[in-house]
């Protein structure tokens, strides 16, 4: 999450054993003074100038992504698999959030359409289109998440009916995203709420939320590279089983509208934290969400994870790679249940500590790409380059875009 709310966790880092780095521990990189050899069964593997990591010997040296790890396989909730990672060393998706249409929304889901700041030059905002083109061409990104407030889409009406004027503005960004060849996530950025009231639990009825998704999905039903992000960061939900019913209503609406093949992202409670979804009950409830035909094809678990001291995404310094507290238990849970996850928000400051820990987090995710599909950094778009987690490239007087330090050193796949 990128708010002042903090989830408690204990920041654990890999420990060395008899002078050797542990599996998934750091073993090299600029300024590194720790162990440079690994425990038995692991190999110190170069990631970039800032980071080398002890990876299982069987996963090193692989540079291509196997189609067997794609999100197109139907799974049973009772399926179990080997606990060992079978990742190929490359993720399927690398991306950036292009924020702006969500501006003005707070964590209670209270927004006004006037608060949005579209990342579009034609609406007097920053050049989000140019940013996406740069990220694809220069950095090799292939996914963008496009946050938008429910209120913006419906013209400040608690309804599922789209406001044609506002939706057309948002669609300009979506179409520009699609034109790059990337996958584009439609993200309703309302924290499971509309103006403070939880959907299906005292707020808008599930049927209203389903109508919203029916209208969105009808418009994009034939667009292969659209990804439907059901809801950003639900939190403090009184009943996670009821929330799973709300998510089911959205999934059924999307599929019934004709969008039968695209990925749908399923968000849990606790700000969709990768450190809790496997243990807080909401993940277990989401495992029961199905497509109308009973399958679970392309129903992907949505998770977020920041690396600062309070997990808020508000601090420039990072203190953990989240491997021990989040990614290891999450990967095990996903394998046990035959499911996959996408990390749609992660980030840090443009600092040395965030270079170290972000490189480590990404290396672990690559080693576990059988269950972790990729990550989407927070954030560019309408954020200025002075924003604490800015991934907005700097624009020179000659129009040349230069990436933020964390992007160029860790997060860009090229």
* 381 plus 246 within the same structural domain: yes
Answer positive or negative: Cα dihedral of 35, 37, 39, 43.
positive
* 289 plus 146 within the same structural domain: yes
Confidence of residue 49 (pLDDT cuts 50, 70, 90): low
Domain end call among 38, 56, 74: 56
Residue 210 has pLDDT above 50, yes or no: yes
- pLDDT of res. 74: 33
Q: Is residue 263 part of a domain?
A: yes
* 35 plus 155 within the same structural domain: no
* 351 plus 204 within the same structural domain: yes
Q: Tell me 76's DSSP state.
A: -
Whether 233 is catalytic is yes
User: Which residue in the list 158, 233, 317, 328 is annotated as catalytic?
Assistant: 233
Average pLDDT score over the chain? 88
- pLDDT of res. 23: 72
Residue 44 has pLDDT above 50, yes or no: yes
User: How many Å apart are CA 240 and CA 341, to the nearest integer?
Assistant: 19
Whether 158 is catalytic is no
User: How many Å apart are CA 374 and CA 100, to the nearest integer?
Assistant: 22
Q: Is residue 81 part of a domain?
A: no
Q: Is residue 7 part of a domain?
A: no
User: Which residue in the list 158, 317, 328, 345 is annotated as catalytic?
Assistant: 345
Domain end call among 41, 56, 71: 56
Burial (CB count within 10 angstroms: exposed 0-12, middle 13-18, buried 19+), residue 317: middle
* 233 plus 172 within the same structural domain: yes
- What's the domain count of the chain? 2
Q: Is residue 8 part of a domain?
A: no
Q: Is residue 265 part of a domain?
A: yes
* 32 plus 167 within the same structural domain: no
User: How many Å apart are CA 120 and CA 128, to the nearest integer?
Assistant: 6
User: How many Å apart are CA 194 and CA 353, to the nearest integer?
Assistant: 37
Confidence of residue 20 (pLDDT cuts 50, 70, 90): confident
Contact predicate 15/22, CB 8 Å:
yes
Confidence of residue 14 (pLDDT cuts 50, 70, 90): very low
* 245 plus 381 within the same structural domain: yes
Q: Is residue 80 part of a domain?
A: no
Antiparallel, parallel or unpaired: β 226-229 and 401-402: unpaired
Q: Is residue 218 part of a domain?
A: yes
- Which token pair is 29? 């990189």
Q: Which domain holds residue 49?
A: 25-56
Confidence of residue 51 (pLDDT cuts 50, 70, 90): low
Answer positive or negative: Cα dihedral of 340, 102, 378, 394.
positive
- What are the beta bridge partners of residue 381? 99
* 129 plus 199 within the same structural domain: yes
Antiparallel, parallel or unpaired: β 341-346 and 299-304: parallel
- Name the pTM for this structure: 0.83
* 217 plus 99 within the same structural domain: yes
CATH number of the domain at 307, please: 3.20.20.80
3-state secondary structure 88-157: CCCCCEEEEEEECECCCCCCCCCCCHHHCCCCCHHHCCCCHHHHHHHHHHHHCCCEEEEEECHHHHHCCC
- Tell me the CA distances in angstroms from 244 to 206, 233, 236, 266, 282, one per residue in order: 11, 14, 14, 9, 7
- pLDDT of res. 26: 75
Residue 2 has pLDDT above 80, yes or no: no
* 38 plus 172 within the same structural domain: no
The structure tokens 């277990």 sit at 284
Helices (H) and strands (E) in the chain, counts: 9, 17
* 170 plus 215 within the same structural domain: yes
Q: What does the pLDDT look like over 286-322, one tens digit per residue?
A: 999 999 999 999 999 999 999 999 999 999 999 999 9
Q: Is residue 77 part of a domain?
A: no
User: How many Å apart are CA 300 and CA 344, to the nearest integer?
Assistant: 11
* 311 plus 382 within the same structural domain: yes
Contact predicate 352/358, CB 8 Å:
no
Q: What does the pLDDT look like over 340-352, one tens digit per residue?
A: 999 999 999 999 9
């Amino acid at each position: 999450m990128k708010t002042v709310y903090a989830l408690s966790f204990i920041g654990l880092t890999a420990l060395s054993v008899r002078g050797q780095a542990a599996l998934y521990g750091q073993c090299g990189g600029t300024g590194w003074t720790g162990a440079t050899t690994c425990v038995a069964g692991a190999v110190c593997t170069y990631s970039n100038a800032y980071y080398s990591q002890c990876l299982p010997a069987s996963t090193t040296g692989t540079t291509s992504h196997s189609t067997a790890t794609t999100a197109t396989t139907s799974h049973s909730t009772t399926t179990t698999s080997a606990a060992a990672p079978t990742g190929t060393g490359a993720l399927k998706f690398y991306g950036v959030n292009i924020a702006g249409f969500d501006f003005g929304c707070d964590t209670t889901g209270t927004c006004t359409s006037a608060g949005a700041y579209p990342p579009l030059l034609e609406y007097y905002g920053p050049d989000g289109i140019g940013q996406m083109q740069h990220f694809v061409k220069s950095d090799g990104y292939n996914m963008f998440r496009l946050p938008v407030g429910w209120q913006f889409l419906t013209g400040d009406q608690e309804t599922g009916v789209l406001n044609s004027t506002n939706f057309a503005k948002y669609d300009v960004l979506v179409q520009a995203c699609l034109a790059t060849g990337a996958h584009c996530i439609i993200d309703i950025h309302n924290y499971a709420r509309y103006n403070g009231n939880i959907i299906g639990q005292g707020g808008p009825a599930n049927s209203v939320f389903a109508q919203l998704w029916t209208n969105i999905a009808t418009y994009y039903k034939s667009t292969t590279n659209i990804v439907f992000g059901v809801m950003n960061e639900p939190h403090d939900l009184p009943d996670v089983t009821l929330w799973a019913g709300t998510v089911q209503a959205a999934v059924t609406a999307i599929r019934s509208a004709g969008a039968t093949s695209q990925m749908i992202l399923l968000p849990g409670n606790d700000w969709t934290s990768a450190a809790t979804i496997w243990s807080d009950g909401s993940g277990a409830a989401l495992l029961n969400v199905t497509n109308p035909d009973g399958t679970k094809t392309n129903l992907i678990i949505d998770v977020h994870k920041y690396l600062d001291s309070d997990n808020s995404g508000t601090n420039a310094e990072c203190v953990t790679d989240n491997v021990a507290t989040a990614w290891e238990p999450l990967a095990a849970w996903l394998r046990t249940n035959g499911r996959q996850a996408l990390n749609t928000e992660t980030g840090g400051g443009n600092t040395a500590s965030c270079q170290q820990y972000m490189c480590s987090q990404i290396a672990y995710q690559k080693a576990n790409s059988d269950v972790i599909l990729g990550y989407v950094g927070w954030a560019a778009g309408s954020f200025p380059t002075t924003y604490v987690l800015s991934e907005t490239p700097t624009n020179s007087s000659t129009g040349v875009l230069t990436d933020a330090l964390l992007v160029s050193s860790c997060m860009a796949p090229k």
